[in-house]
Chain A
């Protein structure tokens, strides 16, 4: 009995110590974790939006910067006036549900600002293989459509694909040639293009550039203002927020 007493006293001391430390420790840990996440997120433009890149290298996370964005060129798919004062470069994954949502938002943006030549929409590929294994091939399908029918066909095919996919890797691959038929391109040529992997490298380059600019998920967009400055837009932001950015930048131009 005498031996048990100091043991229970020691247990009681331990318990008190744990109780005493529980609060400050949990607050400190919580604060440190959240502050760390915010800090690192701000540093690399990388606060993740909707769909994350599970295998993104750490080095690129820290070094991703908007200035790494590949300049907009002729091989880009541009909707609207290529010389528009404002350009929104979107890196997108066809199987991401938030990209589907943002695709509609961007169509709405183009409906209001595209016809007047104030905004151009540039589409680049950002398939997230570990989450949506079908997205990379679908990205190539978009390119194959564009190769046959030009820029307009690229967008027509993209619009249709985003319209019918249920997202999250649920689009049956047999739908791809059906979309080709729907938009009116030669299906045999389309299938040849798709199976040859002609545009695999193009898609891979887009993805690499998305990560290099700090993209960690989709949709990842870069808003290019009239003065050339760039702003990151993470995720499927509402139309009103995109409109606000456009309006405030048009004021200064």
Chain B
């Protein structure tokens, strides 16, 4: 992994991808508020940006410790995964296995399902379930859907390990 992280372009890419995921996850509960304020011409650009920045503080007030932790970890791992995937793709197009991308995507998706909500469930999952009247399902889960965040961390952790192994092994033709 150090091969990749020594290159500042990959570090920057990881940072951008990770912070994008983190920002999206934190702001997700208030997309309606944000869209109303951003669409209001009477509000200055400075005030609009200030609100966005201040809403990011809800990571400390609107998340449980578990959900805050999984959200940050998922964002971090997504950032690292993106760089590793790009590195592998550039090094050898076939080196980036489909299963690796699939697990990485799965991990990110699970992570997005698991992020957010405090006592009672994940944000994206709850949003989806509410549209089909299935919110009661969350009440059955001991951590109200936050379990998915943990699954996401595990899946992304696995793909990070998987990609690092791929990068570490030399590009050779194997004996079949």
Q: Is B23 an interface residue (CB 8 A)?
A: no
B102 & A22 in contact (Cβ 8 Å cutoff): yes
A105 & B36 in contact (Cβ 8 Å cutoff): no
Q: Is A19 an interface residue (CB 8 A)?
A: yes
Q: Which residues of B contact A23 (CB under 8 A)?
A: 98, 101-102, 105
**Contacting A33 at CB < 8 Å: which of B32, B47, B101, B128?**
B128
Measured in the bound complex, the distance between the Cα atoms of B136 and A234 in whole Å is 20
A52 & B138 in contact (Cβ 8 Å cutoff): yes
Interface residues on A, range: 35 or more
B33 & A217 in contact (Cβ 8 Å cutoff): no
| Residues 4-45 of B at the A interface (beta carbon under 8 Å) | 28-33, 35-37, 42-44
Q: Is B165 an interface residue (CB 8 A)?
A: no
B79-111 contact mask (Cβ, 8 Å, vs A): 1 or 0: 000000000000000000011011001101100
A131 & B133 in contact (Cβ 8 Å cutoff): no
Q: Which residues of A contact B62 (CB under 8 A)?
A: 49-50, 98, 235-237
Q: Is B57 an interface residue (CB 8 A)?
A: yes
B61 & A231 in contact (Cβ 8 Å cutoff): no
Measured in the bound complex, the distance between the Cα atoms of B124 and A236 in whole Å is 17
Measured in the bound complex, the distance between the Cα atoms of B29 and A234 in whole Å is 6
Report the minimal beta-carbon distance from B111 to chain A, rounded to whole angstroms: 10
Measured in the bound complex, the distance between the Cα atoms of B120 and A97 in whole Å is 10
Q: Is A114 an interface residue (CB 8 A)?
A: no
Report the minimal beta-carbon distance from A91 to chain B, rounded to whole angstroms: 15
Q: Which residues of B contact A36 (CB under 8 A)?
A: 128, 131
Q: Is B66 an interface residue (CB 8 A)?
A: no
A47 & B123 in contact (Cβ 8 Å cutoff): yes
Interface pick from B48-56, B69-77, B167-175: B48-56
A34 & B123 in contact (Cβ 8 Å cutoff): no
B117 & A49 in contact (Cβ 8 Å cutoff): yes
Report the minimal beta-carbon distance from B70 to chain A, rounded to whole angstroms: 16
A37 & B124 in contact (Cβ 8 Å cutoff): yes
Report the minimal beta-carbon distance from B92 to chain A, rounded to whole angstroms: 17
Measured in the bound complex, the distance between the Cα atoms of B29 and A243 in whole Å is 18
Measured in the bound complex, the distance between the Cα atoms of B118 and A41 in whole Å is 17
Given contacts A49-B117, A237-B58, contact A58 B130 (CB under 8 A): yes
| Residues 9-39 of A at the B interface (beta carbon under 8 Å) | 19-20, 22-23, 26-27, 29-30, 33-34, 36-38
A234 & B109 in contact (Cβ 8 Å cutoff): no
A236 & B135 in contact (Cβ 8 Å cutoff): no
Q: Which residues of A contact B136 (CB under 8 A)?
A: 54-55, 130
A240 & B29 in contact (Cβ 8 Å cutoff): no
A238 & B31 in contact (Cβ 8 Å cutoff): no
Measured in the bound complex, the distance between the Cα atoms of B112 and A29 in whole Å is 13
Q: Is B139 an interface residue (CB 8 A)?
A: yes
B98 & A237 in contact (Cβ 8 Å cutoff): no
**Contacting B31 at CB < 8 Å: which of A38, A51, A217, A248?**
A38
Measured in the bound complex, the distance between the Cα atoms of B29 and A248 in whole Å is 21
A34 & B58 in contact (Cβ 8 Å cutoff): no
Q: Is A244 an interface residue (CB 8 A)?
A: yes
Measured in the bound complex, the distance between the Cα atoms of B126 and A37 in whole Å is 8
Q: Is A81 an interface residue (CB 8 A)?
A: no
B98 & A22 in contact (Cβ 8 Å cutoff): yes
List residues of chain B with CB under 8 Å of any chain A CB: 28-33, 35-37, 42-44, 47, 50-51, 54-55, 57-58, 60-62, 98-99, 101-102, 105-106, 108-109, 112-113, 117-121, 123-128, 130-133, 135-136, 138-139, 144
Query: What would 13 A/B residue contacts be, using CB atoms closer than 8 Å?
Result: A27-B105, A37-B123, A38-B28, A47-B127, A56-B130, A56-B135, A62-B131, A131-B139, A234-B33, A235-B30, A235-B118, A240-B54, A248-B47
Besides the contacts A37-B128, A61-B133, what 8 more A-B pairs have beta carbons closer than 8 Å?
A: A27-B105, A37-B123, A48-B117, A50-B120, A52-B126, A98-B61, A233-B30, A237-B55
